[in-house]
């Protein structure tokens, strides 16, 4: 109850806004079922109203805003500029400065025009690529292609558009042909009697394969995307102008977001994919009802779906998303699938739906020995939580459980691997930092026009007080940055990894749009994820754009590129506020950091990674590629020589042996898929030079601590 009261106090402005919006927007209630355009207009009005009243930093809808939406939207629907021609752009351009006015007046003329023209041009594209791929390419001609599509002008006319298609398809063919030729050579090396395919045969096979792939792609576009999908792209071109993390979720996207955040859903536990022959089972999720039943297999084709004892529904020609909706359903209900098995037999399989966990969402841990000491590693892919049911598992509870298991193994130090962790729940990360410190502030959050609020560690218990290292990279964002920053500010551990993390210092709230419309007859309206607060470190600094700077910087492939929030045009600015009152631990890591820097400077693999990073930076502006076979092969040969040298990075082996914990080893007896996934993870860590140096760092911290817990606040200067 106390938590609910605290939440309401923190978010009272948002709650008041929602209440006010509900009252105002009830006036938009349709009296009867309307056509889709009326729903589109309602969505447009609803989204802009919520953004103007609820976004952290609302922006003015003016001509400059209109120009940016116009540019972004056209880039989103034609990124490689292979559909529209100049006459289309001339027609579109009269709306370039009018989109702001059209939003205000709920006018969707611009969307209707561009969408109908895009679908028309896509249909015409079939004739273009079919004609281009019907004839052999001339690889002797001296010509080039520029693949910097952002700077590429729109085709002046249809003949220029055809030429663009031809060059793009020729480049794709060149790449595939050289790959296939290499495979043929390798086969001949392994078997001297093998008769290699001629260039002409390979070239024809490549064109046929390209035609098949393009047909599948355009079939998907025509059959799987409807008006709502296209309109969602238009809406997001508008809302993302407010900041990169404001996003409109269509109903299907909202469901996918919920699953990604919680790691759970109710269904049969199978992943599907659309094939030319129909909808195929691509994977069974370990532990799910389909996996437990042992009747459904990867490769089975679904022909019909029946709910319980109802008549089965033929799904031929149905959209993949619609098939998924038919198969998903509440826990405890029955679904009957008529499938064509891999051996060609037809079988009806009954499955009782259940709660399914997507295992790759959740925290996992491993132990490794180094010089007689045992260290634990927890990999956390995101700060997940179930917003619908707080009793379900979440990242805080899972990490706490993994720590207990690792402590039972008598670990001498812990590595928290937050690389590629894009964030998640603010509540979860605040509680998780509390596992490592006795008490004190964790993060500051600020809503517009209000004083910052300090979110503290909710309890004084310290679950783990041993040596701690946090691993980050360029893609560690949001909640990951809160965790790393708090550990760094308290001097509770050392942060290692990329020069800086992603730089997302904003807090979002997901608002269900259906709550604003009483008696809605349009169906599900989806949701809006919008930025409502900024967060700040307890030292007062913002992570926005700047990210968290590592105490020890590891060379990485992207070291010389500007990446992250700072590269986003609509990102909110960096700023700072007054620091919170907190007491960092009295410990000096200078020697640990200096030792690591010395090792990195003399490590040949790190030197090679740095050389690779410089090479990537030098090549970033090389956008002109030869379409002449001989010249193309020369360019490939030069690149291959470098790539071959850099291949040593992926072949690196640190020789450490990583082991699963006893409770997981027991699961492997009945779950071979989980065993394979863990073995794959352990192999990846064995090839990871960053893990090796992190183990060196945590070993040095262990020596520095001399067996005593950091949270005893010992003087170690």
Contact between 271 and 549 under an 8 Å Cβ cutoff? The reply is: no
CA distances from 454 to 175, 441, 442, 503, 579 (A): 55, 6, 7, 20, 10
> Running DSSP on this structure, what letter comes out for residue 85?
B
How far apart are the C-alpha atoms of 383 and 263, rounded to whole Å?
11
Instruction: Specify which residues 457 forms β-bridges with.
Output: none
Instruction: Specify which residues 174 forms β-bridges with.
Output: none
Which residue in 369, 467, 370 sits closest to 409, CA to CA? 369
CA distances from 39 to 34, 231, 236, 373, 525 (A): 7, 11, 16, 63, 8
3-state DSSP assignment of residue 570? coil
For 413, list phi and psi in degrees, rounded to 5: 180, 160
How far apart are the C-alpha atoms of 438 and 402, rounded to whole Å?
19
**DSSP strands (E only) in 254-384:** 264-267, 270-275, 278-284, 301-307, 313-314, 334-340, 346-352, 354-357, 364-370, 373-379
What is the maximum alpha-carbon separation in the chain?
80
How far apart are the C-alpha atoms of 709 and 714, rounded to whole Å?
8
For 685, residues 6+ apart whose C-beta sits below 8 A from its C-beta are: 366, 368, 377, 656, 658, 691
Contact between 385 and 428 under an 8 Å Cβ cutoff? The reply is: yes
Which is the catalytic residue, given 125, 262, 365, 478? 478
**DSSP strands (E only) in 620-693:** 624-626, 658-659
Per DSSP bridges, beta strands 624-626 and 144-146 are antiparallel
Please confirm, yes or no, whether 504 is among the known catalytic residues.
yes
Which residue in 461, 411, 572 sits closest to 506, CA to CA? 572
Per DSSP bridges, beta strands 413-417 and 373-379 are parallel
Query: Which spans in 191-286 are helix H?
Result: 199-224, 227-239, 251-262
CA 386 to chain CA centroid, Å, is: 18
Contact between 516 and 428 under an 8 Å Cβ cutoff? The reply is: no
Which is the catalytic residue, given 81, 504, 534, 702? 504
Which residue in 361, 363, 455 sits closest to 400, CA to CA? 363
CA distances from 187 to 164, 207, 209, 617, 629 (A): 35, 22, 21, 35, 22
Angle, alpha carbons 478-546-487 (nearest 5°): 55
Which residue in 155, 153, 78, 89 sits closest to 122, CA to CA? 78
Which is the catalytic residue, given 78, 398, 489, 700? 489
Assign 3-class secondary structure to 524-552: CCCEEEEEEEEEECCCCEECCCCCCECCE
CA distances from 415 to 95, 154, 309, 477, 690 (A): 54, 50, 52, 18, 12
For residue 610, give both structure tokens.
């740095």
Contact between 405 and 666 under an 8 Å Cβ cutoff? The reply is: no
Buried-exposed string 59-87: b where 16+ CB fall within 10 A, e elsewhere: eebeeebbebbbebbbeebbeebbbbbee
As a dihedral over the C-alpha atoms of residue 272, residue 274, residue 278, residue 283, rounded to 10 degrees, the angle is -30
Contact between 515 and 486 under an 8 Å Cβ cutoff? The reply is: no
Residues catalogued as catalytic: 478, 489, 504
């Amino acid at each position: 109850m106390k938590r609910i009261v605290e939440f309401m106090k923190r978010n009272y402005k948002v709650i008041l806004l929602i209440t006010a919006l509900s009252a105002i927007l009830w006036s938009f209630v349709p009296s009867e079922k309307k056509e889709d355009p009326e729903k589109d207009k309602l969505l447009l009005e609803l989204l802009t109203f919520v953004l103007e009243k609820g976004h952290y930093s609302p922006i003015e809808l003016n001509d400059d805003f209109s120009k940016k939406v116009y540019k972004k939207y056209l880039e989103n629907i034609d990124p490689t500029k292979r559909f529209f021609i100049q006459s289309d752009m001339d027609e579109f351009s009269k709306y370039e400065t009018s989109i702001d006015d059209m939003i205000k007046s709920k006018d969707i003329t611009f969307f209707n025009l561009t969408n109908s023209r895009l679908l028309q041009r896509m249909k015409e594209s079939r004739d273009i690529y079919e004609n281009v791929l019907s004839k052999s390419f001339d690889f002797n001609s001296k010509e080039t292609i520029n693949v910097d599509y952002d700077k590429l002008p729109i085709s002046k006319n249809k003949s220029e558009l055809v030429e663009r298609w031809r060059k793009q398809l020729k480049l794709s063919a060149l790449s595939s042909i050289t790959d296939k030729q290499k495979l043929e050579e390798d086969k001949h090396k392994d078997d001297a009697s093998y008769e290699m395919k001629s260039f002409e045969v390979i070239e024809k096979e490549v064109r046929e394969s390209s035609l098949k792939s393009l047909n599948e792609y355009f079939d998907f576009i025509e059959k799987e995307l409807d008006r709502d999908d296209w309109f969602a792209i238009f809406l997001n071109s508008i809302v993302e102008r407010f900041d990169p993390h404001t996003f409109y979720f269509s109903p299907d996207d909202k469901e996918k977001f919920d699953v990604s955040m919680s790691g759970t859903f109710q269904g049969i536990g199978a992943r599907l994919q659309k094939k030319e022959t129909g909808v195929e089972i691509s994977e069974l999720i370990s532990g799910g009802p389909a996996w437990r039943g042992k009747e459904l297999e990867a490769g089975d084709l679904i022909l019909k779906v029946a709910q319980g004892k109802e008549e089965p529904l033929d799904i031929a020609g149905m959209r993949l998303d619609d098939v998924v909706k038919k198969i998903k359903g509440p826990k405890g209900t029955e679904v009957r699938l008529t499938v064509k098995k891999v051996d060609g037999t037809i079988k009806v399989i009954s499955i009782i739906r259940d709660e399914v966990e997507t295992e790759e969402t959740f925290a996992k841990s491993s132990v490794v020995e180094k010089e007689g000491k045992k260290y634990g590693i927890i990999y956390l892919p995101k700060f997940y939580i179930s917003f619908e049911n707080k009793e379900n598992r979440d990242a805080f509870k899972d990490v706490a459980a993994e720590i207990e298991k690792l402590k039972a193994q008598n670990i001498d130090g812990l590595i928290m691997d937050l690389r590629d962790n894009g964030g998640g729940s603010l509540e979860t990360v605040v509680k998780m930092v509390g596992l490592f410190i006795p008490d004190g502030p964790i993060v500051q959050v600020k809503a517009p026009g209000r004083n910052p609020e300090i979110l503290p560690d909710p309890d004084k218990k310290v679950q783990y007080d041993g040596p701690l290292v946090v691993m980050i990279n360029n893609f560690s964002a949001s909640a990951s940055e809160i965790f790393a920053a708090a550990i760094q500010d308290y001097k509770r551990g050392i942060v290692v990894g990329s020069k800086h993390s992603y730089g997302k210092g904003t807090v979002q709230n997901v608002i269900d749009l259906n709550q604003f419309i009483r008696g809605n007859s349009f169906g599900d309206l989806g949701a809006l994820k919008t930025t409502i607060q900024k967060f700040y470190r307890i030292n007062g600094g913002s992570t926005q754009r700047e990210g968290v700077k590592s105490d020890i910087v590891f060379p990485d492939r992207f070291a010389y590129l500007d990446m992250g929030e700072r590269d986003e045009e609509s990102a909110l600015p960096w700023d700072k506020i007054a620091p919170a009152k907190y007491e960092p631990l009295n410990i000096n890591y200078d020697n640990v950091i200096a030792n690591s820097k010395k090792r990195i400077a003399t490590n040949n693999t790190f030197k090679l990674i740095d050389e690779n990073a410089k090479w990537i930076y030098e090549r970033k502006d090389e956008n002109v590629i030869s379409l002449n076979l001989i010249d193309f092969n020369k360019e490939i040969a030069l690149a291959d020589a470098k790539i071959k040298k850099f291949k040593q990075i992926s072949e690196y082996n640190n020789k450490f042996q990583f082991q699963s914990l006893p409770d997981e080893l027991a699961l492997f007896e009945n779950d071979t898929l989980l065993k394979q996934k863990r073995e794959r993870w352990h192999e990846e860590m064995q090839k990871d030079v960053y893990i090796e140096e992190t183990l060196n760092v945590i070993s040095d911290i262990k020596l520095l601590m001399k067996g005593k817990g950091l949270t005893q606040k010992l003087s170690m200067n």
